[in-house]
Structure formats: C-alpha cells, structure tokens
C-alpha cells in the first residue's frame, strides 16, 4: 500500500522514467486469453528457448558444489574470462588482440554499463546516444545526474547514426559516445566501416566509445561485427574502445545475470572499486558451469542465430499490408504501424488489451515528449485513462517517429509469429482508425 515517506528521495530516483516493461505487462494483464487465442508476447527481448541440456546439468552440479557458495574474484572466474576471450577470437577473427586481463565479468550487461558509466562521468556531464536508445542506458545516466544527449536516427538511413551529426553534439561536457549494435530497439546492425568512423571520431576527441554488443552473436553475415579489436587496426583499441557483452541472449540465461566489460586493464583497475561496491562478484555457479562449456556451445549459438534470422524473414513476409519494416536484426524488428494520426503507444496498448499481442512502442526508447493526437475512442475493455484522453489536447499531427513499434521476434516460435501477423491483419479494419 502506498504511504507517505518521512524523508526525501534523490533527484535521480524522482526524475528517472518508470521502467517501461511493467507498463506493457499492465496492458497485457487486461487481455483475457482464450484457449485458441493465447497471449502473444513480443515485448521484452527474452530468449524463446532454454539453453542446451549440458548447461542445465553443469549448472545443477555447480550450484550444489560446496565450492560455489563463496565469493569469487571481483573480475570473475579466470576459466570463463579466458573462454570468453577465445570465443571473441572466433567472432572477431584470428587477428583479435585480446587477453584475459582485458575482461571483467559482471552481474549482467546492464550492470556493466552502470559500472563503466560510473568510472567516466560526474553529475552534470553529457553522454551521446543514438535515438531511439536502450531505455536502461538513459535511466542509468539519469540516475547518475548525467544528460543523455540524443543523436537522432531516421528510417531513411535505416536507423544508422551519423558520425557528422554526432560530431556536432560534442561539447566540453561530453564524456562518452555510446552505441548499441545490433541495435535495441531498432534491430539496425551498424556496418564495420561506420563503427570504425565512430572510433576515429571518439579518438580525435579523446572520448571513450562504448559499444554494447549484447546481440553480436545474432549477426549472420559470417564476417566480424567490426575490426576494432584487430591487431592490425591502425590505432590500439584499448586507447578508446569499451566493449560490453551480455551472456543473457547468446546463452539463453537472462535470469542468471552474467555480462562482461572488455576494456583496457588500466580502465578495469579504475572500475574495480565500482564493481566491488555494486556486486562484489558476479554469481558464481553460472560462471563455473559455463567456463568449461563455452567452446562447445558455439554450434547452439549459430543454430539459434540462423533460426532467428529465418523468423525475421517469416515475420516480414507475413506482415499484413500497411505495416512497414524499418529495420530488422538481432532480436528485433522495428515496424511502422498503418494508422495515420495515432501514436505507437496507443497502438501498442490497444494491441495488447484487445488482441493479446504485446509489443513496445518507440516512445519507450526516447526522451518523454508531448505525444501526437490519439485516434478515436478507447476500445471496449480499455480504461479511459487520463493518459488516453490527454490526446485530445495534443497536436494534430503525429510525427513519423511516433509510429514505430518494436517486435522481439526471438521471444516466440515461427507458429506464433504467424499468429501475430493474422491478428495484426484483423486489427487494420477492426480498430476503426484511419489508415
Ligand atoms: C542492449 C542491451 N544491453 C543490455 C541488456 C541487458 O543485458 P543483461 O541481461 O546482461 O543485463 C539488454 C537486454 O535486453 C539489451 O538489450
């Protein structure tokens, strides 16, 4: 039960946006599923399958071993750190210049971002991020009193950020440039040449380039995501580049909280106190289980990536008329809905409440701003919330960026993707909005 507090809250806690995923799940909770019309959840990016059986048994054994109950090193189990380095040599190519000393394991990639940010920024500083951005990055920066500076991307450029535009945003307060590729939420996968240009820009301005590559294993081109780690790169990567990784998606174990910072050992020494404070160490049993297994899990990862790529294609092929894919990659498809004058948030809400398709609107991945006009009356079963009717006082025109919706195709199997598309087709007429 909510009650008044007898003390003040921090500015960060008071001003940071509410986590968006629970909002989508509140909409989903208002849908009444039927046996032939189950809820179809394509909202939070979660693996749709469990990890292979070897992981279950290794984790069971590790969790019940008396050696797994204690803390481990601040930077994680050496076996897993070395295994990650070896994996990265497979992903980034044999020229990859990486050592175990470059790796610190963390309790998830979100914590990796917070720890890195804490080592770089002070309250009042600025960090540049392409928009739409990953909301937890925005939230982490807000909590630290840092201004996230939006670098806008557009459907015309496939949601790729512009280096020239980024350069214009650099001020004396800028402390880092952050990229996410393959991107969350757009799915856009940045070409190696673009990543190299961002690294050059960062280096020229003595800024770190932080790249969250949570979805790197879902790139199916067969070539490395970029060549920044390469021994033959003109500039040493440790000078500028900070790589973040999550084990959650590649290894299908988000609940076990495992991520990594790959960066100069000099930077890691500064992050040591931060990691010790935030986590002491990452969870031990999952590290013990994964360390020896990691090399043998590469075929599982490649198969999953191939299946998700095929599902992206299926989704695109089956999407009904009027729905337009702007970008696809990693876990996500970023799709423009067909209705004129209706915000994506209103569409996502109605999709969840009325037809049981749960998605996230683009507005969850950018600074909150006044929304465009809401199209029409609340649907049956939808609440006449203040939020809803607020639309009547909104601007006439819904901006293009307000029409995009993120679908996580990795959450569901092929059959469910087809079911989602059938429901989307029915909505075009049933919602009664102007297309
Ligand atoms: C870009 C990005 N970074 C980090 C995370 C969170 O990773 P973890 O579960 O390792 O904290 C996610 C999860 O959706 C993500 O999309």
User: CA–CA separation, 264 vs 272, rounded Å?
Assistant: 12
**Mutation test of ligand 1: which of 76, 104, 134, 141 has the most ligand atoms closer than 8 Å to its C-beta?**
134
Pick from 195, 202, 189, 211: nearest CA to 137: 211
Cβ of 246 closer than 6 Å to ligand 1, yes or no, is: yes
Gyration radius of the chain over CA positions: 22
pLDDT of residue 428: 84
Residue whose token pair is 């009904």: 320
Terminal C-alpha separation, the chain: 43
pLDDT tens for each residue of 251-298? 999 999 999 999 999 999 999 999 999 999 999 999 999 999 999 999
| 330 within 8 A of 432, measured Cβ to Cβ | no
User: CA–CA separation, 259 vs 245, rounded Å?
Assistant: 5
User: CA–CA separation, 28 vs 17, rounded Å?
Assistant: 20
What SS3 class is residue 392? Answer: helix
The H helix count followed by the E strand count for the chain is: 15, 13
Could you tell me if 98 and 221 lie in one domain?
A: yes
| 381 within 8 A of 30, measured Cβ to Cβ | yes
Residue 170 CB: number of other CB atoms within 10 A?
Answer: 17
Could you tell me if 86 and 128 lie in one domain?
A: yes
How far is Cα of residue 268 from the mean position of the Cα atoms in its chain? Answer: 23
Contacts of 373 (CB under 8 A, 6+ apart): 341, 342, 343, 391, 392, 394, 395, 396, 397, 398
Residue range 366-379: average pLDDT? 52
Residue 237 CB: number of other CB atoms within 10 A?
Answer: 25
Count, residues in the chain:
435
What is the average pLDDT score of the chain? 92
Query: Where in the sequence is the domain holding 255, given as residue range(s)?
Result: 53-298
Minimum CA distance residue for ligand 1 atom 13: 45
In a domain, 20, yes or no: yes
198 C-alpha vs ligand 1 centroid, how far in Å?
A: 22
In a domain, 188, yes or no: yes
Residue 184 CB: number of other CB atoms within 10 A?
Answer: 26
Could you tell me if 37 and 75 lie in one domain?
A: no
Confidence category of residue 397, pLDDT binned at 50, 70, 90: low
351 C-alpha vs ligand 1 centroid, how far in Å?
A: 25
pLDDT tops 60 at residue 379? no
Pick from 118, 119, 142: nearest CA to 129: 142
Pick from 332, 403, 348, 343: nearest CA to 376: 343
Could you tell me if 29 and 143 lie in one domain?
A: no
In a domain, 374, yes or no: yes
Cβ of 391 closer than 6 Å to ligand 1, yes or no, is: no
Cβ of 213 closer than 6 Å to ligand 1, yes or no, is: no
Cβ of 138 closer than 6 Å to ligand 1, yes or no, is: no
In a domain, 151, yes or no: yes
Residue range 241-259: average pLDDT? 98
Residue 2 or residue 291, greater confidence:
291
pLDDT of residue 102: 98
Could you tell me if 180 and 247 lie in one domain?
A: yes
In a domain, 58, yes or no: yes
Cβ of 360 closer than 6 Å to ligand 1, yes or no, is: no
91 C-alpha vs ligand 1 centroid, how far in Å?
A: 19
Pull the structure tokens for residue 86: 């070896």
In a domain, 6, yes or no: no
Buried-state track 306-329, b at ≥16 Cβ within 10 A, e below 16: eebbebbebbbebbeeebebbbbb
User: CA–CA separation, 296 vs 318, rounded Å?
Assistant: 35
Residue whose token pair is 């894919």: 325
pLDDT tops 90 at residue 246? yes
In a domain, 267, yes or no: yes
Q: What CATH number does the domain containing 180 carry?
A: 3.40.640.10
In a domain, 184, yes or no: yes
109 C-alpha vs ligand 1 centroid, how far in Å?
A: 5
**Mutation test of ligand 1: which of 20, 76, 181, 184 has the most ligand atoms closer than 8 Å to its C-beta?**
184
Cβ of 44 closer than 6 Å to ligand 1, yes or no, is: no
pLDDT tens for each residue of 328-368? 999 999 999 999 899 999 999 999 999 999 999 999 999 87
DSSP-derived secondary structure letter, 194: H
pLDDT tens for each residue of 31-71? 999 999 999 999 999 999 999 999 999 999 999 999 999 99
| 77 within 8 A of 287, measured Cβ to Cβ | yes
Q: What are the residues facing 40 on neighbouring strands?
A: 357
Question: Is residue 10 packed enough to be buried (19+ CB in 10 Å), middle (13-18) or exposed (0-12)?
Answer: exposed
Could you tell me if 257 and 363 lie in one domain?
A: no
214 C-alpha vs ligand 1 centroid, how far in Å?
A: 6
Could you tell me if 167 and 192 lie in one domain?
A: yes
| Domain final residue, candidates 298, 319, 339 | 298
396 C-alpha vs ligand 1 centroid, how far in Å?
A: 36
Give the largest CA-CA distance in the chain. Answer: 64
User: CA–CA separation, 433 vs 435, rounded Å?
Assistant: 6
* Ligand 1 atom at minimal distance to the Cα of residue 180: 1
Could you tell me if 25 and 72 lie in one domain?
A: no
Could you tell me if 161 and 252 lie in one domain?
A: yes
Transcribe 336-354 into DSSP letters. Answer: E-S-TT--HHHHHHHHHHH
Contacts of 66 (CB under 8 A, 6+ apart): none
Cβ of 109 closer than 6 Å to ligand 1, yes or no, is: yes
CA triple 259-89-245, angle to 5 deg: 15
pLDDT tens for each residue of 253-263? 999 999 999 99
Report CA torsion sign: 95, 97, 103, 109.
negative
Cβ of 212 closer than 6 Å to ligand 1, yes or no, is: yes
24 C-alpha vs ligand 1 centroid, how far in Å?
A: 18
Q: How many domains does the chain have?
A: 2
| 281 within 8 A of 71, measured Cβ to Cβ | yes
21 C-alpha vs ligand 1 centroid, how far in Å?
A: 13
Residue 168 CB: number of other CB atoms within 10 A?
Answer: 9
Cβ of 214 closer than 6 Å to ligand 1, yes or no, is: yes
Could you tell me if 348 and 281 lie in one domain?
A: no
Could you tell me if 60 and 40 lie in one domain?
A: no
Q: What CATH number does the domain containing 37 carry?
A: 3.90.1150
Pick from 327, 338, 303: nearest CA to 406: 327
pLDDT of residue 2: 72
Cβ of 330 closer than 6 Å to ligand 1, yes or no, is: no
pLDDT tops 70 at residue 383? no
Could you tell me if 247 and 291 lie in one domain?
A: yes
């Amino acid at each position: 039960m909510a009650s008044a507090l007898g003390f003040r809250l921090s500015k960060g806690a008071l001003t940071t946006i509410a986590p968006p995923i629970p909002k989508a799940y509140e909409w989903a909770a208002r849908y009444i599923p039927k046996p032939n019309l189950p809820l179809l959840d394509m909202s939070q990016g979660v693996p749709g399958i469990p990890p292979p059986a070897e992981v279950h048994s290794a984790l069971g054994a590790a969790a019940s071993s008396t050696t797994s109950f204690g803390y481990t090193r601040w930077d994680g189990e050496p076996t897993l750190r070395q295994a990650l380095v070896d994996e990265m040599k497979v992903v980034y190519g044999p020229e990859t210049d990486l050592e175990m000393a470059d790796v610190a394991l963390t309790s998830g990639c979100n914590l990796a971002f917070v720890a890195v940010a804490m080592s770089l920024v002070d309250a009042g500083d600025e960090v540049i991020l392409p928009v739409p951005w990953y909301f937890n990055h925005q939230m982490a920066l807000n909590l630290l009193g840092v201004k996230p500076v939006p670098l806008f991307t557009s459907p015309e450029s496939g949601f790729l950020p512009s280096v020239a535009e980024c350069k214009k945003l650099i001020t004396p307060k800028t402390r880092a440039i952050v990229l996410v590729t393959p991107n969350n939420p757009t799915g856009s996968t940045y070409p190696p040449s673009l990543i190299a240009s961002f690294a050059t820009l960062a280096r020229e301005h003595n800024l770190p380039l932080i790249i969250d590559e949570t979805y790197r294993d879902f790139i199916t081109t067969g070539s490395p995501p970029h060549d920044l780690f390469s021994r033959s790169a003109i500039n040493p990567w440790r000078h500028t580049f900070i790589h973040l990784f999550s084990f959650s998606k590649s290894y299908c174990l988000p609940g076990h909280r495992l991520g990594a910072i790959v960066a100069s050992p000099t930077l890691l020494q500064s992050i040591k106190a931060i990691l010790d404070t935030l986590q002491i160490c990452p969870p031990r049993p999952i590290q013990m289980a994964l360390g020896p297994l990691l090399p043998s899990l590469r075929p599982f990862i490649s198969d999953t990536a191939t299946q998700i790529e095929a599902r992206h294609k299926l989704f695109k092929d089956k999407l009904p008329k009027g729905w337009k894919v702007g970008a696809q990659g990693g876990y996500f498809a970023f799709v423009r809905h067909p209705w004129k004058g209706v915000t994506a948030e209103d569409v996502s809400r109605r999709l969840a409440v009325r037809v049981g398709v749960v998605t996230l609107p683009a507005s969850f991945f950018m600074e909150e701003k006044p929304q465009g006009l809401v199209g029409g009356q609340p649907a049956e079963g939808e609440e006449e919330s203040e939020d809803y009717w607020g639309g009547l006082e909104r601007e006439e025109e819904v901006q293009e960026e307000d029409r995009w919706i993120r679908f996580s195709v990795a959450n569901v199997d092929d059959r469910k993707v087809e079911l989602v598309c059938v429901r989307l087709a029915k909505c075009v007429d049933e919602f009664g909005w102007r297309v």
